[in-house]
Amino acid sequence: MGGTDPQSTHQVQIKFTTRHPDIAVPTASILVPANLKRYGLSQIINHLLDTPAAIPFEFLANGSFLRTSIEKYLSDNGLSSESVLTLEYVRAIVPPKFQAAFQHDDWVSSVSVEWENKRILSGSYDGIVRVWNESAQCLYTGAGHTDSVKTAKWISATKLVSAGMDRGLRLWEIDEESVEEISEISAMAEFVGHRGTVEKIHVDSNSGRILSAGMDLLVGFWTTDISEAPKAPKEAPGSKAKRRKGSPIGPPRYGSLRMLEGHTSPVSGVAFDPKDSTVGYSVSWDHTIRTWDLTTYSLVDARTTQHPLLSVCVLPTLSLLACGSSARHITLHDPRVSASTVTTSTLRGHTNAVIALSPNKNNEWQMVSASHDGTLRIWDVRATESGSIWTVKREGEGLSGKEKVFDVEWSGLGIVSGGEDKRVRIDESPKGE
């Protein structure tokens, strides 16, 4: 068997398991050389499956990826070589492939994918939101913000919301009946309440609610149902730029359901709990993760971490929050009040701030991160010690490879990102487990 030392006679008993019936092998334990690593173990599985072409596999021992020989693993964990070691195996992830890039006139700050019609929403520093199809054709544009757009998200197949440096959130609706080659869309409403740049928004499509993260230290909570939305207060802050005399009247303005106070530095990320839309999370430069009860508008819990936090996403099946930091790493947290530790583990590899995170909806263990170091990194949280699985660099003609990435979403279309290179980029989802 390849990958073994012919001088080695020491053997251990291994039992192989998998969650995937199409690659299952007999579960009876077998003897294998103790000095085998991943490659040699992968050869054994291929031999048992009698595969026409070798399939690379990864192996997990007690829920973590095996990165040493079996012998060293047993020694490091104080296990007897006489015991039977159970190894779970999965297909190894192969690297993502570049698919397409859509050019903009300015930095791309935000991306969001609407899967039903396979359309991509982008927000840009030029103040315009754009909707694209898979073929890089711009279908709709929305111009109404008076400053750079920092964040934009789909609400439904025809509605979207955007926000940015002009402090207001704008609600847009697409006219599907339009026959124009590139249609202009107009904002249905503007939501006001923030007194500083809106860095990020997160949408719960089922409830029609929005969370917003503000540089003004506030978390905004909004409804997209205009009939429920409070009217904008007379003294409400709005767009920085005043409407010029004779210019078109803007959309009707509404207020928030509540502006949530508590953070002591700018709020950089927000997220709804996918299992319960009455629970929201926020992260901030003040090093804290805060949990909110959105029915009573009250703070449920606050956790202090070691570094300023810049991004957040929820890994729902694992009940974990992933937070990107200014210290270049990603920390995993159990947000439940009963959790005994603030940080469960740390993922290292980026060389600059981690500005955006997105889970793989088809694999509970995986997510992708975007960083100011110019790369995307794909992670499996079972491999906390070995770093990211793959790194995607934004390379191309005229690029230095160090252009900052501002946003990323792992979607049915692939891994979609936007950044300082003025492009929306699509990379094919990695193949594997």
Helix, coil or strand: residue 73: helix
Helix, coil or strand: residue 53: coil
**What pLDDT shows up at residue 32?**
93
Q: Cβ–Cβ contacts within 10 Å for residue 2, how many? A: 9
| Token pair 């439904």: residue | 156
Q: Give the H/E segment covering residue 47.
A: helix 38-49
Instruction: In whole angstroms, give the CA distance from residue 106 to residue 143.
Output: 14
Return the bridge partners of 32, or none: 12
The structure's pTM equals: 0.84
**What pLDDT shows up at residue 178?**
67
| Total number of residues shown for the chain | 433
pLDDT in tens, the chain (433 residues): 444 444 445 899 999 999 888 899 998 999 999 999 989 999 999 999 998 988 889 888 887 788 889 999 898 888 888 889 999 888 888 788 888 999 999 999 999 999 889 999 999 999 999 999 988 999 999 999 999 999 999 999 999 999 999 999 999 999 877 656 779 999 999 999 999 999 999 999 999 999 999 999 999 999 999 999 999 987 766 544 454 444 456 899 999 999 999 999 999 999 999 999 999 999 999 999 999 999 999 999 999 999 999 999 999 888 899 999 999 999 999 988 777 677 788 999 999 999 999 999 888 889 999 999 999 999 988 876 667 888 999 876 667 778 999 999 999 999 999 999 999 999 998 765 5
Sheet with 276-284: strands ordered across: 267-273, 276-284, 288-293, 298-304
Q: Look at strands 298-304 and 288-293 and give their pairing.
A: antiparallel
Calculate the CA dihedral of residues 135, 136, 140, 143 and round it to 10 degrees.
170
Helix, coil or strand: residue 86: strand
Residue 56 Cα to chain centre, angstroms = 26
Exposed / middle / buried, residue 277 (Cβ in 10 Å: 0-12, 13-18, 19+): middle
The single-letter code of the amino acid at 254 is Y
**What pLDDT shows up at residue 357?**
98
**What pLDDT shows up at residue 397?**
64
**What pLDDT shows up at residue 2?**
44
Q: Which domains does the chain have, with CATH numbers?
A: 11-91 (3.10.20.90), 98-427 (2.130.10.10)
| Token pair 């315009």: residue | 128
Nearest to 199 by CA among 315, 106, 309, 330: 309
**What pLDDT shows up at residue 239?**
46
Collect all residues with Cβ–Cβ distance below 8 Å to 174 and sequence separation of at least 6.
131, 140, 158, 159, 160, 183, 185
**What pLDDT shows up at residue 146?**
94
Nearest to 408 by CA among 281, 274, 311, 323: 311
What six digits make up the tokens of 215? 């540089």
Helix, coil or strand: residue 412: coil
Collect all residues with Cβ–Cβ distance below 8 Å to 78 and sequence separation of at least 6.
none
**What pLDDT shows up at residue 432?**
57
For the stretch 286-292, contacts whose Cβ atoms lie closer than 8 Å and that sit 24 or more positions apart, written own/partner, are: 288/263, 289/321, 289/323, 289/333, 289/335, 290/219, 290/262, 290/263, 291/335, 291/337, 292/219, 292/260
**What pLDDT shows up at residue 109?**
98
Tell me the backbone φ, ψ of residue 385, rounded to 5 degrees. -90, -20
